[in-house]
Amino acid sequence: MKKLILAIFLVNFLVGCASNKPKEEAAAPVSNAAAAADTSAADAQAAADAQAATEAQAARQAVADEMAALQSRNSVYFPFDVDAVQAADRDTILQHAQFLAAHPSVTVRVAGNADERGSSEYNLALGQRRAENTKRALVLGGADAMQIETISFGEEKPRCSDHNEACWSQNRRADINYNAQ
């Protein structure tokens, strides 16, 4: 908004500097009261515009803060060879779904993952089923299906690279990533 106002001001200033001054005609004198009223109206409009810009920025920051808080708990975990969302993760999914329902312009990408056991093809398919089931749970929680994209990384993006159950359990997940492209 400031850039637009600045651009208009600069264009008017340049046009004013470039033109020839016409001969002044006798004009009725403007009273100080009328000039003051015009100035105060312009000042009031500028103050209102500044207040609106500040409020819009505060609202955007609040949404970004809420999104960052949700992003800190964005993973849904699954048991071995299971693609159904577990009851332990329903609260996490519900929080994300409510946020998405309240902010229809926000989009997410749900990325399904699997541990290293099984073939690459099987793990890609399992990761996709995990992502789709997480999406389905988000939609049931109130999010719009058009806000959610799904993808599978299979075993390609592990969170942990050790070869034990504790590590594998971290890799069996679906990640909800905001505004991911």
Span 118-127, pLDDT tens digits = 999 999 999 9
Distance CA 121, CA 154 (A): 8
Q: Residues 21-70: pLDDT tens digits?
A: 555 555 555 556 666 667 788 888 888 888 888 887 887 787 778 877 88
DSSP 140: H
Q: Amino acid identity of 98?
A: Q
* Domains along the chain with CATH numbers: 67-178 (3.30.1330.60)
Does the model's pTM come out above 0.75?
Answer: no
CB atoms < 10 A from the CB of 57, how many?
A: 10
In the predicted structure, residue 110 carries a pLDDT above the cut 80: yes
Q: How confident is the model at residue 113 (pLDDT cuts 50, 70, 90)?
A: very high
Listed in sequence order, the residues at least 6 apart from 70 whose beta carbon sits closer than 8 Å to its beta carbon are: 95, 96, 99, 176, 178
